[in-house]
Structure 1
Amino acid sequence: MSIKHWPAQERPREKLAGRGAQALSDAELLAIFLGSGVRGEDAVSRARRLLQAHGSLRGLLQALGGPPARRLQGLGAVAACRLQAAAELGNRCLQQGLERGEALTDPGSASRLFVARLRPLGNEAFAVAFLDSRHRLIAFEVLFQGTIDGAEVHPRVVVQRCLERNAAAVLVGHNHPSGVAEPSAADRHLTLRLRDALALVDVRLLDHLVVGDGPPVSMAARGWV
Structure 2
Amino acid sequence: MNGKEKFTIKNWDSQDRPREKLLLKGKQSLSDAELIAILIGSGNKTDSAVALSKKILASCQNKINVLNAMSIHDLMKFNGIGEAKAISILTGLELGRRMQLQGIDVKKSITSSKEVFELMQPIIGALKHEEFWVLYLNNSNVVKEKLQLSKGGLTSTVVDLRLLLKKGIEYLATGVILCHNHPSGSLVASTADKKITAKIIAAAATLDIKVLDHLILTEKSYFSFADEGIL
SS at match of 1:63: coil
- The 8 Å contact of residues 170 and 206 in structure 1, kept in 2 or not, is answered as yes
Alignment-mate amino acid for residue 54 of structure 2 = R
Aligned counterpart, 1:162: 168
Aligned counterpart, 1:206: 212
- The 8 Å contact of residues 125 and 181 in structure 2, kept in 1 or not, is answered as yes
- Aligned residue runs from structure 1 range 44-63, under 5 A: 44-51=50-57, 57-63=64-70
Cα deviation for residue 105 of structure 1 reads 2.6
- The 8 Å contact of residues 3 and 42 in structure 1, kept in 2 or not, is answered as no
Aligned counterparts of 2:184 and 2:34: Cα–Cα separation in 1: 27
Aligned counterparts of 2:154 and 2:168: Cα–Cα separation in 1: 27
Q: Compared with structure 1, are the counterparts of its residues 3 and 89 closer, same or farther at alpha carbon in structure 2 (3 Å cutoff)?
A: farther
- The 8 Å contact of residues 130 and 152 in structure 2, kept in 1 or not, is answered as yes
Q: Residues 166-204 of structure 1, C-alpha deviation per residue, up to 9 Å, x if partnerless? A: 222111111111222332232122222211111111111
Greater CA deviation, 71-80 or 106-115? 71-80
Cα deviation for residue 118 of structure 1 reads 0.9
Q: Does 1:72 align with 2:76?
A: yes
Q: Does 1:180 align with 2:186?
A: yes
Alignment-mate amino acid for residue 215 of structure 2 = L
Return 5+ residue gaps in structure 1 as ranges. none
RMSD, aligned CA: 3.5
- The 8 Å contact of residues 211 and 217 in structure 1, kept in 2 or not, is answered as yes
For the pair shown, the structure with the greater C-alpha radius of gyration is: 2
- Aligned residue runs from structure 1 range 13-92, under 5 A: 14=21, 17=25, 24=31, 27-51=33-57, 57-64=64-71, 72-73=76-77, 74-76=80-82, 79-92=85-98
Return 5+ residue gaps in structure 2 as ranges. 1-9
Aligned counterparts of 1:3 and 1:33: Cα–Cα separation in 2: 22
Cα deviation for residue 98 of structure 1 reads 4.2
Q: Does 1:118 align with 2:124?
A: yes
> Percent identity of the aligned residues?
29
SS at match of 1:99: coil
Alignment-mate amino acid for residue 63 of structure 1 = M
Q: Residues 52-73 of structure 1, C-alpha deviation per residue, up to 9 Å, x if partnerless? A: 55665444322237xxx99734
The total of aligned residue pairs comes to 216
- The 8 Å contact of residues 156 and 197 in structure 1, kept in 2 or not, is answered as no
